[in-house]
Amino acid sequence: MLADKVWKGKRVTALEDEFTTRLCAVTGEQPWEAFLRLDDLLERLARDADARLAFQARHPV
C-alpha cells in the first residue's frame, strides 16, 4: 500500500509509521533514523509522480 500511494505522489503518515515500526523490528535501527532514511526515499519517489502518472495515462493498456 505504501508503494502504491507514493507512486501516485501521496504521503500517508499512518502507512509510513507502520512501515518504519516494522523495519525497525527487523533491523534494530532507531525509529527516527529509519524514518529519516525512508522519508528521503519516499520524497524522491513522490516528487516525480505527476510526470509518471501522465506518462501512464498516455499509454493505456
Q: What is the 3-state secondary structure (H, E, C) of 5-37?
A: HHHCCCCCHHHHHHHHHHHHHHHCCCHHHHHHH
> What is the number of domains present in the chain?
1
| pLDDT attached to residue 60 | 84
Domain hosting residue 40, numbered range: 2-58
pLDDT band of residue 61 (cuts 50, 70, 90) is confident
| pLDDT attached to residue 22 | 96
Average pLDDT taken over every residue of the chain? 94
Q: What is the pLDDT of residues 11-30, one digit of tens each?
A: 999 999 999 999 999 999 99
Q: What is the pLDDT of residues 35-57, one digit of tens each?
A: 999 999 999 999 999 999 999 99
